[in-house]
Structure 1
Amino acid sequence: MHHLLCGLAANPALSSELVDRLISIADDDIAMSLADRADLSRAQARALAERVDGSAVQLAFEGRLTAADVSPCVRPDAALALLDQGLGRPEWARLLAADPVRERREKLAACPGLPSDVMDTLAADPDVRVVAELALWTTPDMAARLAAHPHAEVRRAVACNEATPPAVLAALVTGKGLPAARHCLVCDGEETPFVHDPHCPRLDCDLPPGARCDGSHTSTVHAMLEAAFRNPATPVEAVVGFVDHPSVFLRWALATRRDLPRQACARLASDPTAGVRADLAENPAIDVSLIRTLADDPDPDVRRRLAHNPRVPLDVLIRLARNARIGATLVPRVAACSPAEVEELATSPDPAARMLVAQRRDVPPETRDRLAADPDAKVIKALAPHPGLTEAQLRAMVDRHGVHVLAKVAANPDASPALLEDLVRHEPAVRKVFREVARHRGATYPALLRCLADERARPVAAGHTALPPSVIEELLADADAQVAEAAAANPSLSPAVMADLVRRQ
């Protein structure tokens, strides 16, 4: 019965009176669904927060509760949710900065627009995790101040913060102008030298796998460098010298930077780690010459990622489309094609080129129609979900290519009810078709009936509004709780049955 009430709580057709009734009996799960309702009134939101305290946070994040509805003394977590959105009151921050629960002070430290006196309080917090959270999100001035903090974990957080001034980030990388850190999370609790066992059996241990300290806070300093390398505010001059560093993680971080000079990119293109080369391949910082070099990389992921580089030349992209397993996605270079380039791809004798442009949903109608008659199934699979195709075109695709394109045709938003009914009756059947039809707005009861016979499509079909109320009512008793809950959330469920379910709770 509980899963049915959760489904009802999400049902958009539920009357306001029944919403009130569910609020009066709500538990955490029901409250979660109720809090998501678009029609929840402010009075109902306040009543739900009174009933289930935990829902107040969700309601605050979704804008259903305001500062006038929340007391930080009664609901501190909801007050934090409002502060996180910049909707709280300054006096709340001052109160919560002294909260005895560390997790609340930590959440407060991540809130924007904190008063300067609150930031000072949090910067002096006795728990380094609170200070590190502040360092991660704080203003440039406070970040510069915390860069000299004696704890290496705080400095690592400063290195992540994109508001940290570039000169401070450079100092974190080089160490120049900063006193040496005196602590880290490892030496806070262990005698050094210490290396944390990646398979540590201690249930209360929260050190990262492999964390180590020999007095120089090795693993935390390494994490700080990696964070600084990934921070776009860090001057490239401070990091480019690490391109041959023995740490693969630091080289990996460098490969993602958009400001690397050509020489550094060239060094990383020959890195022994394929993951480094793959990140570099997708980086718009690399030039066309390097793109052509990486197109012949032996690692398939490098070539696949290269296909997503917005600067890849079309001829290279076409070559990659043949062997790089790009997937059913519109790559940036094709999305940016000019009308002339679209026509060039669409009329190419190479099906890989035509498949690439068929992923676009804004090609001219005449181009779309020409592609709809393409003899290659891969091109048709890319095009089939395109809006604007006629029923005759979609049926022709099925006649020519059969099971290879059925699911993509079923995903077309303009597929007619009659076509959808034929697709679910197709022999041999394609199971993904049932899931596509089950969520299709044009699906009819006969089509949905076949979808209900498929185990994976059944929960989706149970929520479709084209089902008759009597069938939905039968599904409420389904052995699969997911199916029954979806039926309870179906807006076509009879109002009388909704009322009866609530009454029977």
Structure 2
Amino acid sequence: MTSLHHPQLSGLGRNPAAPEDVLVRLAAHKAGRHGLSLRRGRLADAIAEAMLAHGDDSTAVRLHGDRISPAIRRRIAEHPVPAIRDAFANFVRETVDCGAGLPIAALEEGYGRARTALVDAPNAKLRAAVAQAWYDRPLAVQVRLLADPDPAVRAAATFHRQPGVPPEWRDRCLADPAVRANVASYVPLTSDQFAQLMRCEDERVHQAVAGNPHLTAEMVARFLDVEDPQVRVEMAQSRHVDDATRHRLYALVEAQRAAGSIKAEVALHWHSSEPQWLREAPLDERIAYLDSPFTIFRYVLATCRDLPEEAWRRLDADPELRVRRAAARRPDTPPEVLERLVRAHGDVFHVRPLLVDHPNFPRHALRTFVDEPSPEVRYVALQNPELPVAALRRLAEAAESLLRRGVARHPNVTDALLERLLSDPDPEVVDDAAANSALPSARMHGILTAAGL
């Protein structure tokens, strides 16, 4: 995060081109240490030593694992101040006690034991943390977790579909209130198991069963009169209902939403379920959903890759942006389709790869995006690493800090532009400017001198 009061120092700490002497001097300031903690890769011993010398236990928490050399690890283990010596281990233990997740490697380092030993730790919260973090655990370990005496551990062990529940354990798990809803959402169910779950009065269990991808047509039929909006949406997405039933179920949920039901609003617009079976259906069956009035079916269809050209033309013109973006990610999307989509709506920067990184995207057109009225679209122009300086100057003058931040991060930015952005009223712009590897070394030293470092 950016230091609001000293963004030049926090940004400089992240700068990949900053020389070691600059980074060592930065370690004397809290904002500099924060930036240093966000650097990628291993910290040089001299930098880690300086952080230890000037920092406290919160600094030491960030010095662990591959971030530091074995020599620095020994230095911390032998530190005369217990708070420094035990900083990372204390952080891990406190995090486990809060029930928050941590990577399995952090648990091993914090407790000084291998994951195979942590599975049998006396602390149930630690065993639950291991079950949550060790995704690729062997089946034998999974069985031990399924038999754990603590319900929170069993729940953590069954939260994800993998490594799964062995068939011989399914009856036991489906009878266990701690894990019943988890397991009911993904294991194949026998008719007896399904009947047992339907007799349960827990709403969460019914919702979980409704989302199970292995339901038979007979099981789906048992759900059609359930009034829960989430169940209705799950049934509307089932392969076992006809179009009339699907329309009726969606209409009922929409009526519930119109009447003020928050559950219906969530089920319609925030629930993440999809008719995943559609991706595996025969092509002629999938094509029929081009005319579906329900966006989710057209969206799933757009994620397929074997549709005929006419289907792609229709999906490229779909009224829903989400569908058009999904269709544009196919390997052979025409350049004009990609450009038209991005020019109209920008890109989605939290989804990789970007549409502008598609092999067919006309990269030469990016510089023309600077002239678009939407700031989100103008921002896309910055994905061109050779964007002309004149364009960068225009974007650096924009009212939107989003654009100024993009210029501050750009590899083609000039010294003069960086100097202006280092005084920007938005601390995040300043931070990004100081973190740009194009920043001259002399200017880095000037920042330190101005801060009294």
TM-score by length of 2: 0.67
Tell me, yes or no, if the aligned pair for 2:45 and 2:72 is still in contact at 8 Å: no
- Provide, for residues 55-109 of structure 1, a one-character-per-residue CA deviation record: whole Å limited to 9, x for no partner: 5554535x2235664356764454699xx9xxxxxxxxxxx9xx9x957999789
Q: How does 1:100-249 map to 2 (within 5 A)?
A: 111=108, 113-114=114-115, 116=117, 119-120=119-120, 122-123=121-122, 125=123, 128-130=124-126, 132-133=128-129, 152-157=151-156, 159-160=158-159, 162=163, 165-174=166-175, 221=177, 223-230=178-185, 232=187, 239-241=193-195, 242-243=197-198, 245-249=200-204
Match of residue 289, structure 2, among 317, 320, 326 = 317
Q: Which one of 167, 188, 207 corresponds to residue 252 of structure 1? A: 207
The alignment status of 1:13 with 2:13, answered yes or no, reads: no
Determine if the alignment matches structure 1 residue 475 to structure 2 residue 447.
Answer: no
* Contact 1:475 1:487 (8 Å CA) reproduced: yes
Q: Which of the residues 30, 33, 37 maps onto 2:32? A: 30
Amino acid across the alignment from 1:60: H
User: Could you tell me how far apart the structure 1 residues matched to 2:244 and 2:170 are?
Assistant: 34
**Map of 1:350-389 to 2, 5 A cutoff?**
351-352=317-318, 355=324, 358-363=327-332, 368=334, 372=336, 380=337, 384=340
Partner of 2:246: 294
- Is the Cα–Cα contact under 8 Å of residues 4 and 484 in structure 1 kept in the other structure? yes
1:371-450 to structure 2, matched below 5 A, reads 372=336, 380=337, 384=340, 405=344, 407=346, 412=356, 422-426=368-372, 429-450=373-394
* Residue of structure 2 aligned with 1:342, choices 303, 308, 327: 308
- Check whether the contact 1:31–1:55 (CA below 8 A) recurs between aligned residues: yes
| Contact in 2 for aligned 1:434/1:450 (Cα 8 Å) | no
**How far off is 1:470 after superposition?**
1.3
* Counterpart-to-counterpart distance in 2, 1:39 and 1:151: 38
Q: Deviation at 1:441?
A: 2.6
1:410-447 residue CA offsets vs partner (Å, 9 max, x unmatched):
97466667x55654345xx2232233234543432322
- Any conservation in 1 of the 2:186–2:213 contact (CA below 8 Å)? no
TM-score by length of 1: 0.61
Measured after TM superposition, the shift of residue 37 of structure 1 is: 2.9
Equivalent residue pairs, number = 392
Q: 2:82 is matched with which residue? A: none
**1:92 corresponds to:** none
Do the aligned partners of 2:185 and 2:211 also contact (CA within 8 Å) in 1?
Answer: yes
Q: How far, CA to CA, are the matches of 1:281 and 1:463 in structure 2? A: 46
Counterpart residue type for residue 30 of structure 1: G
Q: Distance in 2 between matches of 1:416 and 1:356?
A: 18
Shift of 1:264: 1.9
Q: Is the 8 A contact 1:278 1:306 kept in 2?
A: no
Identify the range of structure 1 (408-417 vs 444-453) with the bigger mean alpha-carbon deviation: 408-417
- The 5 A counterparts of 1:58-69 are 58-61=62-65, 63-65=66-68, 69=72
Q: Is the 8 A contact 1:359 1:383 kept in 2?
A: no
Change (3 A) 1:18 1:163: same
Q: Which amino acid aligns with 2:231?
A: V
Distance 1:3 1:291 in 2: 57
1:335 Cα deviation from its structure 2 partner: 3.8
Q: Name the structure 1 match of 2:258.
A: none
CA contact (8 A) 1:105 1:130 kept: no
Unaligned runs of 5+ in 2: 80-84, 255-266, 349-353
Deviations 1:142-166 (A, max 9, x none): 7656766665445544554746655
Question: Which segments of 5 or more consecutive residues in structure 1 lack a partner in the other structure?
Answer: 85-95, 176-220, 373-379, 387-397, 399-404
Percentage of identical aligned residues:
19
- Say what the alpha-carbon RMSD is for the aligned residues: 4.7
> Within 2, Cα distance between the matches of 1:443 and 1:490?
16
CA distance in 2, matches of 1:447, 1:105: 45
* Structure with more helix by fraction: 2
Q: Report the Cα offset of residue 40 of structure 1.
A: 4.5
Give the aligned partner of residue 197 of structure 1.
none
Shift of 1:279: 4.3
Alignment partner of 2:377: what SS?
helix
Q: Structure 2 CA distance, aligned partners of 1:45 and 1:37? A: 11
> Equivalents in 2 of 1:265, 1:77: separation in Å?
53
Give the conservation status (yes or no) of the 8 Å contact 2:409–2:436: yes
Change (3 A) 1:331 1:56: farther
User: 1:454: which partner in 2?
Assistant: 399
- The alpha carbon displacement at 1:231 in A equals 5.9
With over 3 angstroms needed to count, the CA separation of the structure-2 counterparts of 1:224 and 1:430, relative to structure 1, is: same
Is residue 16–residue 435 contact of structure 2 (8 Å, CA) maintained in 1?
Answer: yes
Relative distance call for 1:113 and 1:131 in structure 2 (3 A) is closer
Q: Say if 1:32 and 1:251 are closer, same or farther in 2 by CA, change over 3 A.
A: farther
Structure 1 CA distance, aligned partners of 2:101 and 2:367?
Answer: 55
Deviation at 1:4, TM superposition (A): 0.7
Instruction: Measure how far apart 1:504 and its partner are.
Output: 2.1
Amino acid at match of 1:454: A
| Cα distance in structure 2, aligned partners of 1:149 and 1:349 | 49
Judged with a 3 Å threshold, the aligned counterparts in structure 2 of structure 1 residues 465 and 225 are, in CA distance, closer, same or farther, namely same
Gap change, CA 1:47 and 1:277, over 3 Å in 2: farther
Q: Name the amino acid aligned to 2:64.
A: A
Segment drifting more, 408-417 vs 37-46: 408-417
Structure 2 contact 210–223 (Cα < 8 Å) conserved: yes
C-alpha distance in 1 between matches for 2:99 and 2:305: 49
